[in-house]
Amino acid sequence: MSDVEDQIEVELSNDPILESNIKHVASCFLSGFLPPPDITISQWAEQSRILPKLSSAEHGQWRNERTPYLVEIMDQLSPQSLATDVVFMKSAQVGGTELLMNTAFYYIIHDPSPIGIFQPSEGLMEKFLTRFNASAREMQIDDKFTNNTKYIKEFSGGQLICGWSSSESNLRSIPVRIDLNDEVASWVEDCEGFGDPCDLVSKRTDTFSRKKRFWCSTPGTGENCRIYSRYIRGDQREFRVPCPHCGELHALQWDNMVWDKDEDGNHLPQTARMKCPNCHEEFSEFYKDEILKLGQWVPTNPNGLYPSYKINALYSPLGWFSWKDAVLEFLSAVKSGSRAKMRAFVNNVLGEIFVEQTEESIDHSGLMIRKEDYGAEVPDDVIVLTAAVDTQDNRLEVEIRGWGRNFENWGILKKIILGDPRKNMAVWEDLDRILLAPYSKANGEKLYVACTLQDAMGHCTDEVYRFTGPRASRRVFACKGRGKTGVPMTSAPKKTDVGQRYNAYLVTVGVDTIKDQVFGWMKVEQPGAVGYMHFPDLPEYDTEHFMQLTGEKLVSRMVNGNLVYSYKKTRERNEALDLFVYNRAALNLLRLDLNKMADNRQKVTWNPNRNMVQSSGVQQKQNSQIRVLSKGVSV
């Protein structure tokens, strides 16, 4: 040995801290060259993991068959897998913390490495360590740890560092190869001014080529939730199980949970069962153990950056958290009316983010500046005209719109006809003249209104039926709005009990369905694009019109555990919006292929005065009796 080597050996022996650091660095460096062990984490857990009585409802030998959905996740965390990041967005009661501990124990025993475990707070870390230490004693491996402090455990070939999100010192100090992060949705936003704690712990793994980062958490609130944002960047795997009846694989979802009520309408949570979304047969929780064993993880976003998993408490093994328990928690949250309770149900049982009520509105000024001079009453690109009428106690408001390729649309005319519709026949005569009038293009071509819808649900229902009944052959119908998600844009025109007296037809309009489309169109800024909205430079299209058109906002909120969207008025009057919605519904009744007609240079030039339909110069005799079909009205 040379004099230099002798001197180094003496210096190391005199400085145990330096010696420890050099050995640690050497261990970290050499661990990157070691071959992976032959056994995976799930295989090791099946053979060796013991659940302690102190902290486990089911103490004793770990059995993969109890939580088969955890097996693949453990294998992705094993050194045999090429995955670096693994994400697990979960509910409570599915074994996520035990999975994390299995991973830590495996690397301590089979692939010694610098390991970091991080919790949201020091208090939660202390609770975690109580469970961790109990498991180590149960498996008789606590003697592997030497030179222990409260939050650092050294072992041959590595050390276990325990930290929390609000402590910069234990997030940024010693590098770790295995980074296990628990309940990241609850981590602090900023760690003592040093930034996002998730970024800080990620950087601790940079020096390792065979690193693992595990992100595990129940979700929190909003789409910016840490675990949710990581989940959606991954391949979004869901655990699908076979239906006991048809065998089709499907995910266990709250939307398919059903239960009975007694004769008095009282809920019976003990009858909770699952309805198969494929065959619609129902099955009880009795089948859960059997179908879980046959389940498999299916990526729903194959282009994701890494494996990401999501599961809810409906998968919780028999004896842990039952479907009855889930229904009880749901009913309790609904009965309380508490957002906090509903949030707890959505996060901890459904394993989903809780979306606070949000609102989305449109600025009227962006539409108002579009007013333009068409150069004619009707622009050349218009194929068909529709009309909508809003019925008030002291007036009728009518708007005619033109429609072209890609639902591009133009305001043609708007009139307010003053007078009490119940007493003043002149308002109806004025309305009829507007609906019968020809509207001209620059080349002299005349278009007529092809379909009209008039609101009949105010105080003038009989008067509306009396007006529309004799004009049904001109496709002039009464209508009523139905505001609910999923309602079709229009129903087929039908005669009601009241309408029967006047031979009148009523159309039900899915107003929220149409508003979803219309509010999307309001954001379109390129003429010619789908749904682009044009407005004429006419006095009736004033500031009030555009404020009415944008006089509602889209509101999202949680109802019974589901995200529900609805429209809420932002001002008292919104007739302009109603008129646009009814015009869109009138177009839907016509069942026209606007793009095909544009390609063939066709126009709908139906002349109601002559009871004729004219398209591109070809005239067809209109039937005097309207024919009501399942998909609307034919000519």
What is the separation, in whole angstroms, between the first and last Cα of the chain? Answer: 106
Average pLDDT over every residue of 140-152: 86
Q: What confidence tens digit (pLDDT) does each residue in 306-341 have?
A: 999 999 999 999 989 999 999 999 989 888 877 788
Residue 256 belongs to some domain of the structure: no
Instruction: Give the mean model confidence (pLDDT) for residues 409-430.
Output: 94
Weakest mean pLDDT among 115-119, 232-236, 337-341, 575-579: 337-341
CA nearest neighbour of 61 among 72, 69, 53 = 53
> Residue 521 belongs to what H/E stretch?
helix 511-522
At 317, the amino acid letter reads: P
pLDDT at residue 611 in the model: 47
Mean pLDDT computed over 276-301 = 94
Q: If we measure between CA atoms, which residue out of 590, 588, 592, 572 comes closest to residue 580? A: 588
With tokens 């009227």, the residue in question is 364
CA torsion angle 158 159 164 170 (round to 10)? -90
Query: What pLDDT is recorded for position 326?
Result: 95
In DSSP terms, 365 is beta-bridged to: none
Give yes or no for a contact between 246 and 278, defined as CB atoms under 8 angstroms apart: yes
pLDDT, tens only, 484-509: 777 899 999 998 777 678 889 999 99
Report yes or no: 218 and 351 within 8 Å, Cβ to Cβ.
yes
Q: Which of 186, 205, 233 is the C-terminal boundary of a domain?
A: 233
CA distance 398 to 260: 49
Phi and psi torsions of 212, nearest 5°: -135, 135
**Residue with more model confidence, 553 or 624:** 553
Can you give the pLDDT at residue 459? 72
CB 583 within 8 A of CB 451: no
Q: Provide the pLDDT confidence category of residue 177 given band limits of 50, 70 and 90.
A: very high
| Spatial separation of the C-alpha atoms in residues 251 and 340, rounded to whole Å | 27
Six-digit token pair at 295?
A: 């389940």
Per the CB < 8 A criterion, the answer to whether 535 and 367 are in contact is: yes
Cα dihedral sign, 23-29-35-36: positive
Q: Is residue 17's pLDDT more than 60?
A: no
Q: Which of 458, 467, 466, 465 is nearest to 436 (CA)?
A: 467
- Which of 211, 233, 255 finishes a domain? 233
Q: Assign 1 a pLDDT band (cuts: 50, 70, 90).
A: very low
Residue 531: its pLDDT value, please? 95
> 613 pLDDT exceeds 70?
no
Domain boundary among 182, 217, 233: 233
**What are the two backbone dihedrals, phi and then psi, of residue 258, each rounded to the nearest 5 degrees?**
-130, 155
Asked if residue 512 lies in contact with residue 584, where contact means CB atoms within 8 angstroms, the answer is: no
Q: Which two tokens stand for residue 299?
A: 């990526």
**Interaxial angle between packed helices 323-336 and 339-348, expressed in degrees from 0 to 180 and rounded to the nearest 10:** 160
- Three-state SS string across 9-49, please? HHHHHHCHHHHHHHHHHHHHHHHCCCCCCCCCHHHHHHHHC
pLDDT category of residue 623 using cuts at 50, 70 and 90: very low
Q: Picking from 79-93, 137-151, 197-211, 607-621, which range would have the lowest pLDDT averaged per residue?
A: 607-621
Q: Pairing between strand 85-90 and 257-261?
A: unpaired
Select the more confidently predicted residue: 30 or 265.
265
> pLDDT category, 629, cuts 50, 70, 90?
very low
**For residue 284, is it within any domain?**
no
- Determine the pLDDT at residue 564: 67
Confidence of residue 15 (pLDDT cuts 50, 70, 90): low
With CA atoms as reference, report the closest residue to 388 among 361, 362, 411.
411
Kindly tell me if the per-residue pLDDT of 431 is higher than 70: yes
pTM for this model (two decimals) = 0.57
In this predicted structure, the answer to whether residue 99 has a pLDDT above a threshold of 90 is yes
The region of weakest confidence among 106-110, 167-171, 395-399, 575-579 is 167-171
Q: Which span out of 539-543, 570-574, 628-632 was modeled with the highest average pLDDT?
A: 539-543
Tally of structural domains, the chain: 2
| 532-558: average pLDDT | 88
Q: What is the mean pLDDT of the chain?
A: 86
**Confidence at residue 44, expressed as pLDDT on a 0 to 100 scale:** 95
Q: 3-state DSSP helix/strand/coil percent for the chain, to nearest 5?
A: 35, 25, 40
Q: How far is CA 40 from the centre of its chain?
A: 35
Beta-strand pair 237-242/446-447: unpaired
For residues 416 and 395, the answer to whether their CB atoms sit within 8 Å is yes
- Please give the structure tokens belonging to residue 167: 């402590």
pLDDT of 3 reads: 52
Grade residue 628 by pLDDT with cuts at 50, 70 and 90.
very low
Q: What is the pLDDT of residue 619?
A: 34
Residue 9 has pLDDT above 60, yes or no: no
- Which of 25-34, 155-164, 326-335, 396-405 is least confident? 25-34
State how far the Cα of 77 lies from the Cα of 81, in Å rounded to an integer. Answer: 7
Please check the confidence at residue 551 and state whether its pLDDT lies above 50.
Answer: yes
* 146, part of any domain: yes
- Using CB atoms within 10 Å of the CB of residue 264, give its burial: 0 to 12 exposed, 13 to 18 middle, 19+ buried: exposed
**Residue 35 confidence (pLDDT):** 60
Spatial CB neighbours of 610, under 8 Å, sequence gap ≥ 6: none
Residue 295 domain flag = no
Tell me which residue range forms the domain holding 443. Answer: 379-539+575-629
The answer as to whether 348 is a domain residue is no
Altogether, the residues listed in the chain come to a count of: 635
Under the banding of pLDDT at 50, 70 and 90, the label for residue 630 is very low
Q: Residue 216: beta bridge partners?
A: 88, 182
| Contact (CB, 8 A) for 108 and 132 | no
Mean pLDDT (whole number) for 174-194: 88
For 20, residues 6+ apart whose C-beta sits below 8 A from its C-beta are none
pLDDT value at position 568?
Answer: 83
User: What's the whole-number mean pLDDT along residues 219-240?
Assistant: 92
pLDDT of residue 14 exceeding 80, the answer is no
Portion of the chain with pLDDT greater than 70, in percent = 86
The answer to whether position 177 is within a domain reads: yes
Confidence of residue 249 (pLDDT cuts 50, 70, 90): very high
Cβ–Cβ under 8 Å, residues 357 and 555: yes
Residue 384 included in any domain? yes
Band of pLDDT at residue 605, cut at 50, 70 and 90: low
User: Hey, CA dihedral for 137, 143, 149, 153, is it positive or negative?
Assistant: negative
Q: What's the CA gap between 97 and 87, in Å, rounded? A: 13
Q: What is the pLDDT of residue 36?
A: 62
Domain of residue 221, CATH code: 3.40.50.300
Q: Rounded CA gap, 605 and 635, in Å?
A: 13
Mean pLDDT value of segment 172-199: 86
Q: What tokens does 122 get?
A: 């020091």
Residue 618 pLDDT: 33
Beta carbons of 123 and 250 less than 8 angstroms apart: no
Q: Tell me which range, 96-100, 364-368, 459-463, is most confidently predicted by mean pLDDT.
A: 96-100
Domain-embedded: residue 279: no
* Pairwise CA distance, residues 189 & 354, whole Å: 18
Three-state SS across 420-475?
CCCCCHHHHHHHHHHHHCCEEECCCCEECEEEEEEECCCCCHHHHHHHHHHHHHHC
How far apart CA 329 and CA 461 sit, in angstroms, is: 45
The answer for 406, left when phi > 0, alpha when psi is -120 to 50, beta otherwise, is left
Q: How many CB atoms lie within 10 A of CB 497?
A: 6
* CA pair distance 435, 265, nearest whole angstrom: 51
